[in-house]
Structure 1
Amino acid sequence: MSQPLPELENFIDRLKAISDRYGRVYGVDRGGDWHILKLQEEMGELTQSYLAMTGRSRRDEATARHHVAMEMADVMCMLLLMARAEGIDLNAAITEKWLKWETVMTEESHDA
């Protein structure tokens, strides 16, 4: 089976270069548990923005949708960086965890 996201590794290379710059410029040690902690921080920011977007906080609703999009980008990129740091092959994981259901769905459609 082909990779579900064939450009993923190249994309993560680009993110890592940006993250490496961040570490250099701001003097941030990104080792150890940094990725999981940063991912959790970004999820908190996404939650705050989502609450604003849905009118459930004191934050400005007018710009909240844009903030939700930006925080989703942060969460996704931090997750990809964490996978790289931990040596996780996300293409393999996606294939095993999600895409296996395509075979089941195909079989179900033939049985119907």
Structure 2
Amino acid sequence: MSQEIRPLEALADQLEQVSAGYAARFGLHRDGDWFMLKLQEELGELTSSYVALTGRARPRERDDAADRQAFEEELADVLAHVLLLARHAGIDADRAVDDKWLRWLGDSADV
């Protein structure tokens, strides 16, 4: 990936603006524990929405489209909180993905 293009960093900057506003509105102190625990909370919600989407939960009054929408929203929450946690920890998510995943592009036989 080119050094000029930093899509995850740019997204994390925007997410930080939203998260900081949320914290200010509700008087939350966002430290490392908060970021980690919030990610865990969102992962639980993603799991719950997946269980409902795949028909493994008790019947609800929602339809398939609503279950799909809930799953998409929870997936967005998890992605956002992963990037917020990385940003808080000083991790360059773009570089980390490059180093861990994208280095294998074109060399899939060695993965």
Q: Tell me the TM-score normalised to structure 1 length.
A: 0.85
Q: Where does residue 53 of structure 2 map in the other structure?
A: 53
- Structure 1 runs (4+) deviating above 2 angstroms are 3-8
SS of equivalent residue, structure 1 residue 8: helix
Letter in 2 for 1:8: L
Please say if 1:71 is aligned against 2:100.
Answer: no
Quote the RMSD (CA, aligned, Å). 1.9
Instruction: Name 2:99's counterpart in structure 1.
Output: 96
- CA separation of 1:68 and 1:5: change in aligned 2, threshold 3 A: farther
AA paired with 1:98? W
Alpha-carbon contact 1:83-1:89 (below 8 Å) kept? yes
Q: How far 1:4 moved relative to its partner?
A: 9.6
| Alpha-carbon distance between aligned partners in 2 of 1:90 and 1:4, rounded to the nearest angstrom | 14
Bigger relative contact order (CA 8 A; separation at least 6): 2
Structure 1 portions without partners, runs of 5+ = none
Greater C-alpha Rg = 1
Single out whichever of 58-67 and 95-104 deviates more from structure 2. 58-67
Q: What residue in structure 2 maps to residue 6 of structure 1?
A: 6
CA distance in 2, matches of 1:64, 1:15: 24
Which consecutive residues of structure 2, in runs of 5 or more, have no partner in the other structure?
none
Tell me if structure 2 keeps the 8 A contact 1:23–1:29: yes
Matched, 1:24 2:24: yes
* Alignment-mate amino acid for residue 44 of structure 1: G
